[in-house]
Amino acid sequence: MTRFFVSPEELTPEFLVLTGENAQHAKVLRLKNGEEVLVCDGQGKECLCTISDVSPGQVSLVVKKRLESETEARVRASIYMAFSKGDKLEHVIQKATELGAYEIVAFPSARCVSRPDDKSLKKKLERWQKIAASAAEQSGRGRIPEVLVVGSYREALSRAAQADKGILFYENERATTLRMALEAGEYQTISLLTGPEGGLEEKEVAQAMEAGLQVCTLGRRILRCETAPLCALSAVMYASGEF
């Protein structure tokens, strides 16, 4: 069923009107009167609606039923990824959204090659959020993950440590696997933190441990910076019964 996202304020009880990009999308899909669509507020609530009128620039809907989204993951997984070169972060945002991430947080670290300034970061954030919205719509999500940027590595650690379980992945860790970390106690929220192309420095790993994060390995092979967070997120979703 076709899915549209609107702001929470637009999700009114009886009637809805799609405008702008949503109306254009409906036109491209050639939706007609009487067809059913889902309209979501991007925060987990949705409405089953029937199209009552298709006009130039807008589509009118009648609300049949209000629902809680059934496609959101049981565990709220936050992806923390260091700034990376090119469009690698965009790829992670798209795929992490499809896999069920609750949010994606970008941060700077010592070995980051990419360090966007405030002006370019504003444009990037707008683009990243649109990528998340598009992926949420395509994958049938009821919630659009928020894409955030924090100003420092320490801030990322502090925020990640607030989850029930916070994990940092380090290629030189040998003792603790992700499976071991996931099996050690229950959790409803989890933070998964990965480094940039050059990896994290030893002192940064030590800082993570001081902040309360657990350091884990993702195996004996070195994963690319855009592969590691998706690998970890997939494992969390599997362990929590999503797959």
The pLDDT tens digits of the residues spanning 72-118 come to 999 999 999 999 998 999 999 999 999 999 999 999 999 998 888 88
Domain that holds residue 233: 76-239
Tokens for 19? 């405008």
CATH assignment at residue 176: 3.40.1280.10
84 and 193: one domain? yes
Question: Looking at residue 8, what DSSP letter applies?
Answer: G
Q: CB under 8 Å to 103, separation ≥6 — which residues? A: 78, 79, 145, 146, 147, 148
Q: What is the per-residue pLDDT for 2? A: 87
Number of structural domains the chain divides into = 2
Q: What is the per-residue pLDDT for 214? A: 97
Helix 228-239 crosses helix 88-99 at what angle (to 10 degrees)?
10
CATH assignment at residue 11: 2.40.240.20
Query: Of 68, 86, 111, which residue is a domain's last?
Result: 68
Q: How are strands ordered across the β-sheet holding 45-55?
A: 3-5, 36-40, 45-55, 58-68, 15-19
81 and 45: one domain? no
Tens digit of each residue's pLDDT (9 = 90 or more) over 197-241: 999 999 999 999 999 999 999 999 999 999 999 999 999 999 999
Tens digit of each residue's pLDDT (9 = 90 or more) over 37-80: 999 888 888 889 999 999 888 999 999 988 888 889 999 999 99
* Length of the chain counted residue by residue: 243
Query: Of 68, 87, 114, which residue is a domain's last?
Result: 68
Q: What is the per-residue pLDDT for 165? A: 97
175 and 214: one domain? yes
> Model-level pTM?
0.86
Cα–Cα distance list, 187 to 33, 114, 163, 210, 232 (Å): 45, 33, 8, 20, 16
